[in-house]
Amino acid sequence: MNSHSHLDNEQIDHVDARYSRQILFSPIGAEGQRKLGESRVAIVGMGALGTVLANHMVRAGIGYVRLIDRDFVDTSNLQRQMLYDEEDANTTTPKAIAAARRLQLVNSLVTIEPHVTDLNSTNAEDLLSDVDLILDGTDNFSVRFLINDVSMKLGIPWIYGGAVASRGVSLTIIPGQTPCLRCLFTQAPAAGTAETCDTAGVIGGIIHVVASFQSTEALKLLIGAKEQLNLKMQQWDLWFNQHSAIRVDGALKSDCPACAKQQYEYLEAHLENDTIQSLCGRNSVQIQPIVPSTKSLDDWEERLKPLGPVEKNRFLLKFQAAPDLHMVIFPGGRVLIQGTDDLIQAKSLYSRYIGM
């Protein structure tokens, strides 16, 4: 149900009781709750951040929540991805489906729409164009730049979030008001230079800090509390007791390709299609990074050896990511993923171990 205004008086009493503590918080109140009930939110990525974000949005009474994720639940997710259980892992249930099932039991008044798909240039506008806000639960910059392109093109705000090890970051991005992500980062980090949860690990606490900040900013945006928005880039390191809030308003660039020039490079289908391709007849997928990696094969060996069997010669490194899946890494960051011709599965492996 997309709006509480469609409910009869008896149902309204039930709705008010469900959200009574949130309505008692005067900055939200009954009017703010009504606005939340009429709001539409898309969450991209249903991993650690995404599960916390979805949990907050559904329990807060957002009228419509769309969940987008390409992956399946496995046991390594259970330490931090709060909506899943061992049964989900044992049955390799898609994350979007498992999350939607769990959340529908929490709040049957919310319309929850799961999409088991890879967000890419061919479907991003369709999946993100009809919402009021986009929440980032992803783990790579290529998808974030794609979200940023959609945001700038369609004028939809989004909230960036990321977490690895004990560190986290978040920033609220509003088209026409704040710098966009490409004002701050002109291009994605070179392959292998960014840590991932599969190489550096992650503790659960930082996930909840980042996602809780994103969720609170989301409520402010959706009820129109613009004066209370925190438009600084927030950075945390919970293990080493660090927090900073950095003003970024001066980072708005007049030559930004996305927000200034309206050149939406990550929405152009050929950008990804030229770099990711299934190799016909070889049961392999090749991924060529847009920004070449400067890591040596020795660097890759040091990074991946603790995670699984590695073989290396002076031309390439072969890493066994799963019993029937191997990643062959060449100088410059080109990767062959052997054992699958599924582009989505290949991208998931690449994102986990290399970083996109």
Say what the pLDDT of residue 92 is.
Answer: 80
β pairing state of 133-136 and 40-44: parallel
Under 8 Å between Cβ of 79 and 85: no
HEC letters along 44-99: ECCCHHHHHHHHHHHHHCCCEEEEEECCECCHHHCCCCCCCCHHHHHCCCEHHHHH
Encoded tokens for 318: 């072969």
Contacting residues for 149 by C-beta, under 8 A, at least 6 apart: 124, 258, 264, 265, 266, 267
What pLDDT does 1 receive? 37
pLDDT averaged per 10 residues in sequence order, the chain, 356 residues: 50 77 96 97 97 98 96 90 95 92 97 92 94 95 94 98 97 98 87 77 96 98 98 98 97 96 85 66 79 89 94 90 92 89 89 82
3-state helix, strand, coil in the chain (%, to 5): 40, 20, 40
SS3 label, residue 161: strand
Quick one: pLDDT at residue 356? 61
Pick the closest to residue 197 from 162, 166, 165 (CA basis): 165
Q: Strand pairing partners for 198?
A: none
Q: Is the distance from CB of 60 to CB of 43 less than 8 angstroms? A: no
pLDDT score recorded for residue 206: 97
Q: What is the pTM of this model?
A: 0.82
Q: Tokens representing 94?
A: 């898609």
What gap in Å lies between CA 179 and CA 171, rounded to an integer?
Answer: 10
